[in-house]
Structure 1
Amino acid sequence: MTRLPQIALLSDGRRLHLQDGPIDLIVEARGPAHDVRVAYEAAARRFTGLLDELCAELPELRAAAGARTSLKGIIARRMHAAVAPYAAECFITPMAAVAGSVAEEILAAMLSAASLDRVYVNNGGDIALHLGRGEHFSVGLMDRPDSDGVMRTIRVDADDPVRGIATSGRHGRSFSLGIADAVTVLAATASQADAAATVIANAVDLPGHPAISRQPANALQPDSDLGARLVTRAVGELLQDEIATALESGAERARQLFDRGLIEGAVLRLCGDMLVIGTKDIEKRRPRPLVAENAVDA
């Protein structure tokens, strides 16, 4: 029996829900009613068969990325392009950018079909944005990706270079090599934000610390693209200077990516403390000063 994706408007009548296997999208478009309807129809058409398209190239998508690729699909190639800047420096597979790349593809399908004022495609917290003139989008920051409630927000305006937002960390849907509760990255595209969030979250770490429990990824998920690499399962009590050290390790990685033009900003969170890295425009909207601090009171 052929598996069909689940596609329906949510009860508010404004947002579209697209779900197929592990892919779960919430989409909202603003604009003339006819254009919104046409855009949603285009999103549904592109979403149908998308998971099968990715599965057809899954072995290579789960393999370490190199400078070149034989991937054929447009989403698969976008995934590879997003992780390629890191391939020579660390182990990374195209799967590190899958959520953001899928969100980008659905957004592109909508914009090719209709003229819209504002659109977001949210794939489990990895978001692709379109902002017309004068539009803005508020990004909710969680202390950790698996928790409810927004700690604080950062506003993205139409004249900002940010069109992609992604969050990674040890509480997210995927395994992490680091100990960050959450790393939220703002970048030019969702696929770039997704890949960078993974890299920065992995860098928030205290290697060999006795309070950190790790297990091989393939012992938890046999087909994990991380193989036998140790992923974080639990973080015990850390001293304040240890938290600061781990955050600074990730922040230094974020600064490197910012200097290379790969990201526009990042918010790193661990054990209630936070660091913000980014352009002056983004820092003006930052929740708190650019220092490690307690952030649980917001």
Structure 2
Amino acid sequence: MTRLPQIAMLADGRRLHLQDGPIDLIIEARGSEANIRAAYDAAARRFTGLLDELCEELPGLRKAAHPLQCGLQGVVARRMHDAVAPFAARHFITPMAAVAGAVAEEILYAMTARQLDRAWVNNGGDIALHLASGEQCTVGLVDRPDQPGLMRTTVIGAEDPVRGIATSGRHGRSFSLGIADAVTVLARTASQADAAATIIANAVDLPGHPAILRRPANDLQPDSDLGARLVTRDVGRLDDGEIASALEAGARKARRLLTDGLIQRAALRLHGETRIVGPTAIPRRRVRESVMQ
């Protein structure tokens, strides 16, 4: 039986909240009142039953992705596979690494059948963007996904190819093989950003370091798509050289993905230190403002 998700406008009267099981979306659209209303109605219709669609293919979504072949059927499931496939030849990765971004994209696509100036769908920090010509938005980059507060911001304009933002790391909703506090990736789509953030966050690491506590993923969550792979649970004291070494390992991975056209920019954070990878720097200003403007 299809579940009925929670659908409600937030107190500000501008943003829509959609929640069903682990999927929790905050949505905002700008444009005419009629087009915003139609977009929100479309988002709610597409959201209803979406979790059930994914659950029907969950065994396949939890298997290691093949770089060329995809046996998944649903449109969101196939988008998840397409996002992780470029990494599958070199890394263990499952379509679940792109689930949050792919869901955000699907809802945004349903909304933007209507004419909107700009819109965004935020799925727990993984964000799909729509920007009409001449529009821009300000995106906040967090120091840690599990704590409030912004590290810095960057402005994305309509001429910029970025339409997806995602953050991964050991403090996020999913397990991480690496030790990064946060890795935020800007890419052409939210699902691509989601997959790339996972890969880069895994690469920020110091294998075998005694200050790093790891546990098999399936000890913590029996049905984890990571199986018995060791995931990071705690990171003790690291000296400056060790922090720099771990960040550089992640930055090398990010630079390769940038060269391959899989990301546009990335910000890597560990123990108060940051590395930026991209063709242009991300502004280094601290602000008190919403994550999206």
Length-normalised TM-score, structure 2? 0.96
1:90 maps to a residue whose letter is H
C-alpha distance after superposition, 1:185-211 (max 9, x if no partner): 000000000000000000000000000
Quick one: higher RCO (CA 8 Å, sep 6+), 1 or 2?
2
Secondary structure of 1:215 counterpart:
strand
Is 1:84 the counterpart of 2:70? The answer is no
Give the distance between the partners of 1:192 and 1:286, measured in 2 at CA.
23
Secondary structure of 1:266 counterpart:
strand
Is 1:41 the counterpart of 2:38? The answer is no
Match of 2:176 in 1: 176
Question: Displaced runs of 4+ in structure 1, greater than 6 A?
Answer: none
Give the distance between the partners of 2:283 and 2:210, measured in 1 at CA.
33
Give the distance between the partners of 2:3 and 2:37, measured in 1 at CA.
25
* Structure 1 residues 6-155: aligned runs within 5 Å: 6-66=6-66, 67-112=68-113, 114-155=114-155
Judging changes above 3 Å, is the alpha-carbon distance between structure 1 residues 53 and 210 closer, same or farther for their aligned structure 2 residues? Answer: same
Secondary structure of 1:238 counterpart:
coil
Give the distance between the partners of 1:185 and 1:287, measured in 2 at CA.
16
1:31/1:118 contact within 8 Å kept:
yes
2:152/2:283 contact within 8 Å kept:
no
Deviation at 1:286, TM superposition (A): 3.1
Deviation at 1:4, TM superposition (A): 1.1
Give the distance between the partners of 2:2 and 2:174, measured in 1 at CA.
27
Deviation at 1:139, TM superposition (A): 1.2
Deviation at 1:2, TM superposition (A): 5.3
1:276/1:286 contact within 8 Å kept:
no
C-alpha distance after superposition, 1:133-177 (max 9, x if no partner): 221111111111001011211111111110000000000000000
2:2/2:52 contact within 8 Å kept:
no
Give the distance between the partners of 1:78 and 1:233, measured in 2 at CA.
30
C-alpha distance after superposition, 1:255-298 (max 9, x if no partner): 00000000000000000000000123xx2x4328xxxxxx9xxx
Give the distance between the partners of 1:214 and 1:38, measured in 2 at CA.
47
What is the number of residues matched between the two proteins? 285
Length-normalised TM-score, structure 1? 0.94
Give the distance between the partners of 1:213 and 1:16, measured in 2 at CA.
39
2:127 maps to a residue whose letter is I
RMSD of aligned alpha carbons: 1.1
Secondary structure of 1:24 counterpart:
strand
Give the distance between the partners of 2:192 and 2:159, measured in 1 at CA.
19
Match of 2:269 in 1: 269
* Structure 1 residues 179-194: aligned runs within 5 Å: 179-194=179-194
